[in-house]
Amino acid sequence: MKITEKIFLNDKVILGLIIVNSVVIFLQGFQLIPFVRSILMQADNIITMIFLLELVIKVKTYGLKKFIKSNWNIFDAVLILLAIPSLYFWFFNGSSSQLDYLLVLRISRIFKFFRFIRFFPDINRLIAGIQRALKASVIVLLGFLVYNFVISVLSCFFYKNIAPEYFANPLISFYSIFKIFTVEGWYEIPDQISKNSSEAVGILTKIYFVLILLTGGIFGLSLVNSIFVDAMVSDNNDELENKIESLEKKIDKLIENN
């Protein structure tokens, strides 16, 4: 194996570069003297080129078909390619304000940290559990969103003139109702409406929002969470049940032999 392949196929080396790159990008967020800022920018661009070289070497070593079979490789490649536009300003001294937004894409290199999640213990089982949980809870989640939509439209017609900052249109209303579902400062909205309306409307409004909180925030989100968590741990429960079943069979054999 060539020395370059040994280096670029070594995950510890690449992880070290990712850490260095993250520190460099972090430091660029401070007000620094031009000389230091220039050095950091050069280091940032050089590391980007190294990441690009890493991608080329891996595709050449493994072959494209084998390379793309791994979802981790595809994820890594996307993050590297997203960082390439920032090199335009280095190679061509680009100064077009219309392309300045491309510099934001270089931050995507930090997300290469996620590539090393695969080295966590039982990461594949965890990912499989998340996928299983998403499939199991998708219907309930859709129902929750539909309920949010219905309540948001209803609330928009009720309060768009009284509290336009929360219910001016169905989209703003949808966000406001969702905030109530999260039980975060839910009482602020009905209190504000009560100040801008009559006493009777204020009382009915508070009752209305309490019902929304109970049905959507406490019951609705709890149901979504419980289904998601249950699906996440179902694989562990199946494994435990198989072990218990195997143990019971062994005990039955021992009893029969005696």
Residues 175-198: tens digit of each pLDDT = 999 888 888 778 888 988 888 888
pLDDT for 96 equals 45
Per-residue burial over 205-220, b = 16 or more CB atoms within 10 Å of its CB, e = otherwise:
beebbeebbeebbeeb
Which of 98, 119, 140 terminates a domain? The answer is: 119
| Domain count of the fold of the chain | 2
Phi-psi region of 185 (alpha: psi -120 to 50; beta: other; left: phi over 0): left
Residue with tokens 């996620």: 114
Residue 166 has pLDDT above 70, yes or no: yes
135 lies in which domain range? 125-257
User: Is pLDDT above 50 for 156?
Assistant: yes
44, amino acid identity = D
The answer to whether 52 touches 4, Cβ cutoff 8 Å, is: no
What's the token pair of residue 132?
């299983």
Minimum mean pLDDT range among 6-20, 79-93, 152-166, 217-231: 79-93
Is the pLDDT at 213 greater than 70, yes or no?
Answer: yes
Last residue of a domain, which of 56, 84, 119? 119
Alpha-carbon distances of 47 from 16, 94, 156, 188, rounded to whole Å: 11, 19, 51, 49
pLDDT exceeds 60 at position 94 = no
DSSP for 133-170? HHHHHHHHHHHHHHHHHHHHHHHHHHHTTT-HHHHSSH
**CB 10 within 8 Å of CB 37:** no
Kindly state whether residues 114 and 133 are assigned to the same domain. Answer: no
Q: d(Cα 108, Cα 178) in Å, to the nearest integer?
A: 29
Whether the full predicted model's pTM is greater than 0.85, yes or no, is no
65 vs 52, 68, 73, CA distance in Å? 19, 6, 11
Hunting for tokens 């021992």 — which residue is that? Answer: 254
CATH of the domain at 227: 1.10.287.70
- Give the pair of three-digit tokens for residue 16: 């070290």
78 and 141 part of one domain: no
Q: Which of 119, 134, 153 is the last residue of a domain?
A: 119
